[in-house]
Every structure is written in structure tokens, then in C-alpha cells.
Amino acid sequence: MNKLAHTLPSTFFLIPAFMVLGGCSEAPDVKHFDPPAKTHFQIHSTIPSDPLDDISASGTGFRTLHGGSHNADEVSIALSPMFEPAWTAEDQFWIYEGPSFDDSQQLYFSPIKPKESVNLLALSAESGERLWTIEGSEIGQGGAPLVLNNPGISDNPNNLPQQTIYTGSYESIKAISQSGQVLWNQPTGLTIDSTLNLGERHNYGVNYLSHHDALVTVVGTGKVIVLNREDGSPLLDTPYALPGVSPYPKDAFPLPEFVRKATRPLWGHFFEGEASAENDTLKEVTGMVMGNSASVANFFAISKANGRIWIAATAPDDEDGTIDGYSSLGALYGLDLIKNTQGEHSLEIVCSISFDGGSASSPALNADGSRIYVADNFGKLFAIDQDSCNTLWSYDVGRQIVGSAAVAKDNGELFLSTTESVIKLIDQGDSAELVWTASPDIFDLNARQETRNTNLVAIGANGIFVQVGAGFVLQNELLPQSIGIAMMDRETGELRFASPAVEETLSVMSVSTEGELFIANSPLRRVLSKTLTGNKTPGITGGITRYQSIDANLLLRESSCAAADLAHYLIEAQLTIPNDKMLTEKVRLQQRIDQSIAAGNKAISEQTLSASDWSIYFPLLSAANAALEIDDFSGSFSNLNQVCNTYE
């Protein structure tokens, strides 16, 4: 029920592979890419949505696992159009989810089963320096932290709103200040059960329910915890149990014992005692990734519009026609938190829908929360109605969709990942239209090697980030020797730029509030590649890698053109978008102008932009700001377009 289901070779094929791949080719290199030309992406439509509440942090960066509460994997600003690895920090940790970002150039993550006894780490996004840790590892930790605002409090040097980081495990939920002070620590109320496996006890992260100022979290057993945001007090008497039962058990990873043992020195870098003990972390981690035994194997979404909680899980026992304690079906549940006249809270399932084979994705919502997108294990994407849970349409892409759909605010765009390619669909209302399918060709391949998509998509105003692998295909699945990061054009699917990557991730393509990519390194497929090919595959590492923007002047071009595009669209759209929802669009335009100014200042400092050119651009950007303040979108567009058009 997760990213790598059906993507790992079986025993009978790996035994001969282990014998022959010692003579394989060297890991391939990423091709050279010149600076990208302008994108011709344009906004033709958008989904009007309510402005964010004061607590939720802006959509300029990833504040939790899939960006924000809707799991859309989208940021409102431009992505770095050219990038390269800058640093890898804390490489001793295997990181499954995250990182998350605040507004003060800090990032946060929680590692899986760390050798060092830590629960949460904070790093400088600029340098990778460790700033502080919360000590004491806990059962079920490793989910993505959540970053929220504390409105009205501004006690930092840049007068930014103070923010709080929330992190969870099977044992507890914590609120932590940006300086590392634990503000409260609330036990989950879950019973510690030594028989639960890694996936069953995993906490996938914390999400925010603004309608009740509450925090929500879910663990693999299907238990839901709801807390008051301010003090951590429980809003439910006991954790709520989803009605689904465990999926049918299966061997998560049918490898021969000698292959498993051969991987242990590599796992020993991350996990205590793994190099020599009888622990089988390869099997345990793969079982978690594939969702074996767990009722819930993905993150969940919360609608900003009506507060409905959407969880993909297993169906109740009897829905598959056999009452045996297991389910062969996946299900999507829509739950509301209800407060009665006595002030007591309860969770109620408003609607649900079941489907064959389980869910391979986290539910993702469109901008107004009216549609939920979820995939099954067989290659179908479903669009689900928020009120009835009825299927509005389904689309079969022909291969299992991994992770979650990336959902754009504009043009009805949906970006899907399979283990082979990236797919763009358009939601046409009562159906989906295929626009393009692309397998990014970024490597100079050697004999018998192939390249394929290996992760989810992150959407920005000027393109999408994807992770690409190259190596050997066994039983139609890629075992990557090399990893690269690519930027693709939203409109056409064509490559814009690519860079070598340090390591693969099983997490998301986490984007910072500056538009840079940060990867949580979680090697699994490359552990097998390294084991089977030896020195022909580069070394394995964990930690966080920053992919820094190479040319701030180019980022200025991208952000100013994206701002001009949005301003141009709003000239006419303001006549049809309700006034309360226009605030969302104004904020989005402001964020792109702010990014342009920040990129210009950085370009001056790195000498990729001349002072004379900046003396022209900065007044135009300032004039665009001034026009935006009085809702003069024509004026904003005119000034922004002048900046954009200077780049040819």
C-alpha cells in the first residue's frame, strides 16, 4: 500500500543476478545541461480557494510531508531552474519523511531507528549545521514534522512570525520552539505492543485541522489522535480506531538469506547493531514501505475548506466477502471532528469508498478541497467527491501509481509518478485527459542500463522536480546505480535541467521557502544495487542533501515571469473570483514578487547580475508591489512583464 509495492525483484531472479552483476557497467553520469530557456507555461484557469488562516504557514515551502494540509506537493513560488548538490549533513541517519521548513532558514526532520538517541533535529538550511536536537528516540518516530505560525508573536531579528514545530511518534506528540525548547509533550495514549512491526507503529506525521485549532496524527495500526494545538491536551477520550483491518500478510521481501546478510554492512551505517546482529532491517523497512500488515501506510489530508480529514487505509473485514481478520480492499475515509453541546469531541465517518487491492497513495486534495485524488494498487487514479465519496472519474495509467498525485492549483493539472515515467493529466470535471507521459533522459547510459523515474513530483510556478534513477532492470524493475534530479516543463514534459544527485529518497521532493530542493536520503533500491554490483555503484549515504540554486539571476527571471503570468491572468479573473478568495491570489502574487526581489539581491551579491541592470529591475518590481496593494493587476503585470521580457 505504498511507494514500492510491486517494485522489488523476487528471489528466483535475484539469485542469478547476484552471480552475474559483478561484471556490470560502471554507474552512469548525468549529461551536461545548458541553462534552460524560458518556460511557456501559462495559467488559463485556477481553483478559487479560501485564504490561509493565521496559524497555517504560507505555501512557499514544504511545511509538512506533502507541502501542506492538502498533500498537493506544490509550492506557490518558482523552483530553482539550475541547481547542484551543495552539502549533505547528518549522513548517519536514514530518513523516510521530510524535511519540513520554517521561515527562518531552518529545517527539521526525524530519523527512522537512529543509532544516536535523538527524536528531532534542526539544521541550518544554508549550511547544514546542526542547530539543536530533541534527545531520546521513541517508538514509531520518523514522520515529517509540521511547522505552524504563532500569530502576533515576532521575537526574532527579522520580525518574522514566531513558529512552532510539531513532531509525533507512536509514544507522544511534542510542540517545540524554533530554538529547540519543548513547549509541551503529550503521550498519545496508545498501548506499547512489542508485536507490532515497524510499519504498524510508524507515525506518518502531524497535520493541522484549522476549524478546531487541532493537531491530528495517524499511526500504522489505524489509530487517530487529536490534540489541542495550544497545550497538547487530548480532544478525544481515547485514540479513534479506523474500522479497517490488516491487509493479508505476505513476505514483504522474498530475498535469499545470503543476499540479506550481504546488505547488513550497508544498513549498519544507519541502524544500531545491524552489521552483525540477526536483525533484518532490510525486510522490516521494506515491509513498512510496502504497507505490509499496516492498516494505514500513507500520510493523510485535511481540507482547509470544511475541515474534513481524509485517510487512505484498509477496508473493514467483511467488505471483501470473507470474515477472517484481514482485508483485500483499500478504503478512503472522510471523517469530521464533531463538538457537542457539552464541549466533547468525537470523530465520525461521514462517507467512505472501498476499492480492490488497497491504496498505493496518500490522498491529495484540490485547492478548494472539493475533490480527493487517490490511487489503487493497479494503476488507477480516482477523483472522489468530498460530500458523497462517489467516484467522479477514474483513469487507468497502465502501471501502478506510486506515492501520491501532485495537484496543481492552476489548469486542473495532475502529475503522477510510476516506476517508469511521469504522467500529466488534466481534470476535465467528469473525466481526465492525458496530456503527456515522459521518462526523463538525463544519463549517459552504459551497456544494459536503463533510466526511469524513481520518486514523486514537486510542483512549482515554473516547472516540476523529479528524481530519476539509472542502472539495471531486473524483472522489469529498476535497481539504480546512479540518481539524478531533473526539472521538467509543466506544459510539455520536456527536460529543462538536470543535476547529479547524492542519494535516492523514498520521501518527497521537499522544497524550501526559497525554491531550493532538499532531499531526505533513504536508500533502499541502491542498497540492493550496491550489494549486487559492488564498486560499480557509488557509496550509500543517509542524511539531508541540499541542492542549491546555481544562478540567482536565472531564478529572478523565472520568478518575475511567473509573477507576470499570474498578474496577467488576474486582470480578467478578478471579475469572476469572489472577493474573499481573491486574497489568496493576491498573496500568491506577492510571494512571487518577494521571491524576485530576494533573487535579485542574491544575484548582485554573487555577481551574476550587474548593478546597472538591478537599478532597472528593482524599481519595476517595487512598482508592481505598489500596484498590487491597490488591486491594480494591470499595473503589476506591466511592470513585471518588463522585467520578464529583458530575459530572452
Could you report the per-residue pLDDT of 162-177, keeping only the tens digit for each?
999 999 999 999 999 9
Do the domain assignments include residue 1? Answer: no
Q: What is the pLDDT, as a whole number, of residue 283?
A: 76
Where residue 443 falls (left for φ over 0; alpha for ψ -120 to 50; beta otherwise) is beta
Rounded CA-CA distance 389/391 in Å is: 6
Asked if the model's pLDDT at residue 20 lies above 60, the reply is: no
Which of 517, 550, 583 lies at the terminal end of a domain, its last residue?
550
Which of 550, 565, 580 lies at the terminal end of a domain, its last residue?
550
Q: What percent of the chain has pLDDT over 90?
A: 79
Which cell goes with 357? 487491492
SS3 string, 136-156, reads CCCCCCCCECEEEECCCCCCC
Q: What is the pLDDT, as a whole number, of residue 7?
A: 52
Task: Judge if 112 and 151 occupy the same domain.
Answer: yes
Query: CB of 260 within 8 A of CB of 528?
Result: no
Non-local CB neighbours of 12 within 8 Å, separated by 6+ positions: none
Asked if the model's pLDDT at residue 87 lies above 50, the reply is: yes
Do the domain assignments include residue 3? Answer: no
Task: Judge if 558 and 505 occupy the same domain.
Answer: no
Do the domain assignments include residue 602? Answer: yes
Rounded CA-CA distance 15/554 in Å is: 49
Q: How many CB atoms lie within 10 A of CB 478?
A: 24
DSSP string, 351-414: EEEEEET-B-S--EE-TTSSEEEEEBTTSEEEEEETTT--EEEEEE-SS-B-S--EE-SBTTEE
Q: What is the pLDDT, as a whole number, of residue 3?
A: 52
Average pLDDT value over all residues in the chain: 92
Q: What is the pLDDT, as a whole number, of residue 12?
A: 38
pLDDT digits (tens, 9 = 90+) for 107-166: 999 999 999 999 999 999 999 999 999 999 999 999 999 999 998 655 555 555 699 999
Rounded CA-CA distance 375/384 in Å is: 11
Q: What is the pLDDT, as a whole number, of residue 277?
A: 56
Do the domain assignments include residue 6? Answer: no
Q: Which domain holds residue 624?
A: 554-645
For residue 252, the domain's CATH number is 2.130.10.10
pLDDT digits (tens, 9 = 90+) for 28-61: 999 999 999 999 899 999 999 988 899 999 999 9
Supply the angle between the helices 11-20 and 257-267 in degrees, to the nearest 10: 70
Give the residue among 604, 593, 558 at the shortest CA–CA distance from 35.
558
Q: What is the pLDDT, as a whole number, of residue 13?
A: 46
Asked if the model's pLDDT at residue 534 lies above 80, the reply is: yes
Do the domain assignments include residue 2? Answer: no
Task: Judge if 586 and 531 occupy the same domain.
Answer: no
Helix (H, G, I), strand (E, B) or coil at 21: helix
Task: Judge if 519 and 614 occupy the same domain.
Answer: no
Instruction: Assign 539 a pLDDT band (cuts: 50, 70, 90).
Output: very high
Asked if the model's pLDDT at residue 590 lies above 60, the reply is: yes
Task: Judge if 368 and 403 occupy the same domain.
Answer: yes
Task: Judge if 80 and 168 occupy the same domain.
Answer: yes
Q: What is the pLDDT, as a whole number, of residue 19?
A: 43
Task: Judge if 532 and 619 occupy the same domain.
Answer: no
Q: What is the pLDDT, as a whole number, of residue 259?
A: 76
Task: Judge if 594 and 537 occupy the same domain.
Answer: no
Task: Judge if 527 and 584 occupy the same domain.
Answer: no
Domain count, the chain: 2
Sheet arrangement for strand 406-407: 406-407, 413-417, 422-427, 432-438
Task: Judge if 544 and 613 occupy the same domain.
Answer: no
Instruction: Assign 422 a pLDDT band (cuts: 50, 70, 90).
Output: very high
Lowest mean pLDDT among 12-26, 402-416, 545-559: 12-26
Do the domain assignments include residue 43? Answer: yes
Task: Judge if 542 and 596 occupy the same domain.
Answer: no
Query: CB of 302 within 8 A of CB of 69?
Result: yes
Task: Judge if 574 and 490 occupy the same domain.
Answer: no
Do the domain assignments include residue 457? Answer: yes
Q: What is the pLDDT, as a whole number, of residue 5?
A: 47
Which of 550, 577, 608 lies at the terminal end of a domain, its last residue?
550
More confident residue, 499 or 356: 499
Do the domain assignments include residue 4? Answer: no
Q: What is the pLDDT, as a whole number, of residue 254?
A: 62
pLDDT digits (tens, 9 = 90+) for 263-318: 888 888 898 766 555 567 777 788 787 777 789 999 999 999 999 999 999 999 99
Rounded CA-CA distance 211/228 in Å is: 12
Q: Which phi and psi angles does 167 have, rounded to 5°?
A: -135, 150
DSSP string, 158-199: T-PPPEEEEEE-SSEEEEEETTS-EEEEEE--PPP-TT--TT
Which cell goes with 418? 510510476
Asked if the model's pLDDT at residue 23 lies above 70, the reply is: no
